[in-house]
Amino acid sequence: MKLSEIAKVVGAEFNGDDCEIVSMNTLKDATSNELSFVANPKYVKDIPNSKAGAILVTEATKEYVPKDSIALVVEDTYWQMATLSKYFAPPLEDKDAPLPIIGKGSEISPKAEIANGAVIGKNTTIMAGAYVGSGCVIGDNTILYPNVVVYRDCIVGNESIIHAGTVIGSDGFGFASNRVGEHKKIYHIGNVVIEDDVEIGSNTSIDRAVFGTTLIAKGARLDNLIQVAHNCVFGKGSVAAAQSGFAGSTIIGQNNVFGAQSGAAGHLEIAPFNTFAARTGITKSVKESGKTFAGFPFMDHKTWLKIQGKLARLIK
């Protein structure tokens, strides 16, 4: 999309040299042919070092835009980012892509659907009702049980198992809101990558990234009925029991253990090798390793046990 056309869509002035913008991305990851935006004051510091070809900014932040980027000044950058996300979202299916490639020894149910442009590895089983979208790659020796859905451009590694009804790569819960309470959908143009030796239970949802990748790292284990939101990283060998939930952009280190119905707020970092008891509510980043936590808001497990004991004595 021409930058001049983008400026018209968002109502920004544009007088510079026109150029082609091929996608949208974060300030840190954007390249010279991509568009970025600043919606949170804490990211203003990243503007001067951004390589983005153009950046959506307000009057208050336009002075930080580097000379090699073009500032598109708008009143509400988040709202206009949501507006533009629709223009850069890929089609639901790429019907002009080549026919899917099916590896030797793989068994695909005639009731499953493999979209054009997908690649299925060797000795993989895809059962009835499953759907694999355009641009997806499914590795070797992997099993997709009935009614598993893998949206376009997502990747599932080797030796992995995904149980019935799980959805990989649906859009995250992302939208912009304006002053009168209207909501505009943010189209998620990233993907999900599930590495090797991962097992995911039934009816679990793993949302695709807004930009970039939602990652389930090698050796992870996810139970049934779990929600992993957009742009999360679920660390190598980490385990989560049923009904756990992880809000957007949470970064989970390796070999963490989450009890049933535990959950983390968004944009947190959780150090490796910790344990969170059932129903633990993680409200801030965890910098220590080798600890056990419980409660909401979460605290050291031993402290939580003492509090429960004192409460029990109070009602006797």
pLDDT at 165: 98
pLDDT at 150: 98
pLDDT at 260: 98
pLDDT at 316: 75
Closest of 82, 100, 101, 90 to residue 9, by C-alpha: 82
Domains of the chain: 3-88 (3.40.1390.10), 101-304 (2.160.10.10)
pLDDT at 167: 98
Query: In sequence order, which residues have a C-beta less than 8 Å from that of residue 6 and are 6 or more positions away?
Result: 21, 35, 54, 72, 84, 87
pLDDT along the chain (316 residues), means of 10: 96 89 95 94 92 95 93 96 96 93 98 98 98 98 98 98 98 94 96 98 98 97 98 98 98 98 97 98 97 95 92 86
Could you report the per-residue pLDDT of 50-63, keeping only the tens digit for each?
A: 999 999 999 999 99
pLDDT at 315: 83
Q: How far apart are CA 216 and CA 232, in angstroms?
A: 8
185, 175 in Cβ contact below 8 A?
Answer: yes
- As annotated, the active-site residues are 230
